Amino acid sequence: MTALQQADLLGRRAVRESLRTPEALAPTLFIPVFFLVVNFGQAGEIFPSDSTPFLYGQTYAAFQLPSSLLLAASFGSAALYLVEDIEGGYFDKLRAAPVSRGALVLGRLLAEGLKTAVLTVALIIIALPFGVTIASGPAGFVLLLVLTSLWGIVFTGFMQLIALKTRSAAATNSGGLVFFPLLFLTPNFVPRDLLTRPMEIAATLNPVTYVMEALRSLILQDLQWDVLGRGFGVVAAFGALMLFLNVRMVRRYD
Amino acid sequence: MNALAIEAEGLVKQYRGRSGTVDAVRGVDLNVSAGEVFGFLGPNGAGKSTTVRMLTTLLSITSGTARVAGIDVAADPDAVRRRIGVALQEAGLDHRQTGRELIVLQARLFGSSAAEASARAQELLELVELTEDADRRVKGYSGGMKRRLDLASALVHRPEVLFLDEPTTGLDPASRLSVWDEVRRINQRGTTVFLTTQYLEEADQLCDRLAIIDGGRIVRAGTPSSLKKELRERLRLPGDAPDPTLDEVFLDATGRTRERVAGDVQEVTA
Ligand SMILES: Nc1ncnc2c1ncn2[C@@H]1O[C@H](COP(=O)(O)OP(=O)(O)OP(=O)(O)O)[C@@H](O)[C@H]1O
Ligand SMILES: [Mg+2]
């Protein structure tokens, strides 16, 4: 049995777990939709499609959609299930089995990636009536799903680190809030070059910015390989770091 | 196979936390032969679970060495994991899965194919008499059912050495007897069993040999009858007096004589 097969088995279990807890799923859809509607409702008039160059002819909702997608991908609920496993002793049962430590970490994350992909599709469908289209076409749509899901995996991976370290649901929940400002230190209302200077610097230093810009380019424009390269590069680099730290943490877990 | 199933030398565990260090295990030597049922007894906080967790690769060893099924626990934990079954003091179950799903997953993680895993799950569910509830979520199981499921999930890969940390705590007398039967049956098929317990009768019934741990150190080791005999001789009991019970051996070994325990109670009530 390879590590990937083990990760797949554990991932399926995590999917079952999510499906059996639909209550936990509802807010992850509702809150991003709420932000999309409210932000579009408040600023849509300021940025009309025909006179706002950075909208490339679409409505302001299209510009806002990436923020909502990132929000949906940044709940990290898998980390809370991990705390439940730790508290209930099931995590020890898995640790006492000859399961690859990488698979132990990845199983849940893969499920989280799948969940994010489903949420992304749902959010895009919900955004259609607001005049949103995916300008980069079917290939761009697939890249949009993949990038959002990878971000979900990376974010959840960092939440899992907190879960493994603190082994407490309360601490994991509030630890996740530390990451939250990162979602807003981004060009989430206007493009980066229109931000005030301090915000522009903050956004430029914030890796989430590049994921957001990549997602946005897929919605508003043709495939922009340089922007996509930065977005996927951020996710790949932080994904590798997150995996390394997680596996090390599980190995040293006492 | 006449080798040692468990071999520990100078096993030490120090927990280091914010509130200082705890010396939970202070130099434990163990030799458990293959095929034995070995009992590990001790009062609360003596270090039983800590020892089990070190032997089962779950806890790092502060110093000393441990070999399980001939393999060094610290050097090759994965090889040890393939050969041991573990049912910990807090039954480690996933409440959102059904009993059957849990066992099938466990079997698959140990390398069984899907078909093998579901056949093995059926077999084990029958063994622990959970077939009727197999497709219910674990959340709805009673304490005894959870223990039995936990035991079944420790057996998926027919382990060489089975670790049971207080397998009958919280069970009603009938369930306790059925777990004892289980343990005997598993042992007859050649599995070495390392069992911790608070119940001296359990140790007397099941164990070929036992060790008593107190304050992180082994204070007695031997067969139940040799331990009773030793106490009898040391107390110079007259020939017609009944043999000391394992309770008495335990109280003597842990410095909690019946008189002192009774005395403590009187002090409290006075
Ligand atoms: N994670 C931990 N951190 C700090 N101290 C611990 C930890 N786990 C156990 N201890 C301490 O180590 C000692 C031994 O605990 P252990 O759980 O091994 O005892 P035990 O013999 O299994 O007791 P019981 O019969 O109550 O299960 C106790 O003093 C306990 O307080
Ligand atoms: Mg214990």
A210 close to A230: Cβ distance less than 8 angstroms? yes
Which of A1, A89, A98 faces B91 most closely, judged by CB atoms? A89
**A98 and B58 in contact by Cβ < 8 A?**
no
Fold of B4-269: Rossmann fold (3.40.50)
- pLDDT reported for residue B233: 86
Q: How far is A252 from chain B (nearest CA, A)?
A: 8
- The residue of chain A with its CA nearest to that of B82 is A98
Domain ranges of chain B: 4-269
Confidence of residue A91 (pLDDT cuts 50, 70, 90): very high
Residues B68-119: pLDDT tens digits?
Answer: 999 999 999 999 999 999 999 988 899 999 999 999 999 999 999 999 999 9
Task: Indicate if the pLDDT at residue B267 is higher than 50.
Answer: no
- Residue with the bigger pLDDT between A13 and B234: it is A13
Ligand number with the minimum distance to the CA of B88 = 2
Of A16, A20, A96, the CB nearest to B57: A96
Q: How many whole angstroms separate alpha carbon A161 and alpha carbon A242?
A: 8
Q: What is the percent of chain A with per-residue pLDDT over 90, rounded to a whole number?
A: 87
Name the closest-CA residue to atom 30, ligand 1: B45
State how far the Cα of B122 lies from the Cα of B132, in Å rounded to an integer: 11
Percent of chain B whose pLDDT exceeds 90: 71
Q: Using pLDDT thresholds of 50, 70 and 90, give the confidence band for residue B260.
A: low
Model confidence at A183, in pLDDT bands (50, 70, 90)?
A: confident
Predicted pLDDT of residue B257: 61
ipTM comes to 0.90
Which chain B residues are within 8 Å of A91, Cβ to Cβ? Answer: 92
What is the structure's pLDDT at A208? 96
Provide the mean pLDDT of chain B: 91
Q: Mean pLDDT over residues B155-167, rounded?
A: 96
Q: Is the CB of B50 under 6 A from ligand 1?
A: yes
Total domains in chain A come to 1
In a mutational test of the B interface, the residue from A93, A94, A106 whose CB has the highest number of chain B CBs within 10 Å is: A93
Q: Of ligand 1's atoms, which has the minimum distance to the CA of residue B50?
A: 18
- Containing structural domain, residue A100: 3-251
Bridge-partner residues for B224, per DSSP?
Answer: none
Tokens of B118: 């579901």
CA of B88 to the centre of ligand 2 (A): 8
Residue B83, chain A, CB below 8 Å: the answer is no
User: Is A53 exposed, middle or buried, given 0-12, 13-18 or 19+ CB atoms closer than 10 A?
Assistant: exposed
Is B106 an interface residue toward A (CB < 8 Å)? yes
- Within 8 A of B97 by CB-CB distance, chain A residues are 13, 16-17
Mean pLDDT of B60-73: 97
Q: What would the 3-class secondary structure string for chain B be?
A: CCCEEEEEEEEEEEEEECCEEEEEEEEEEEEEECCCEEEEECCCCCCHHHHHHHHCCCCCCCEEEEEECCEECCCCHHHHHHHEEEECCCCCCCCCCEHHHHHHHHHHHCCCCHHHHHHHHHHHHHHCCCHHHCCCEHHHCCHHHHHHHHHHHCCCCCCCEEEEECCCCCCCHHHHHHHHHHHHHHHHCCCEEEEEECCHHHHHHHCCEEEEEECCEEEEEECHHHHHHHHHHHCCCCCCCCCCCHHHHHHHHCCCCHHHHHHHHHHHHC
Q: What does the pLDDT look like over A99-115, one tens digit per residue?
A: 999 999 999 999 999 99
d(CA B109, CA B153): 11
- Work out the pLDDT band at B261, boundaries 50, 70, 90: low
pLDDT tens for each residue of B197-245: 988 889 999 999 999 999 999 999 999 989 988 888 888 888 888 888 8
- Closest-CA residue, ligand 1 atom 31, reads B45
Mean pLDDT of chain A: 94
Pick from A1, A252, A254: which is nearest to B111 by CB?
A1
Angstrom distance (rounded) from CA B195 to CA B155: 15
Chain B contact set for A85 (CB, 8 A) = 94
- Contact of A99 with chain B, judged by CB distance below 8 Å, is answered with yes
Give the number of the atom of ligand 1 that is nearest the alpha carbon of residue B22. 5
Cβ pair A89:B92 closer than 8 A: yes
Over residues A140-160, mean pLDDT? 96
- Tens digits of per-residue pLDDT, A214-249? 999 999 999 999 999 999 999 999 999 999 999 999
Distance CA B261, CA B270 (A): 14
What residue's CA is closest to ligand 1, atom 10? B24
- Atom 19, ligand 1: residue with shortest CA distance: B45
pLDDT of residue B53: 97
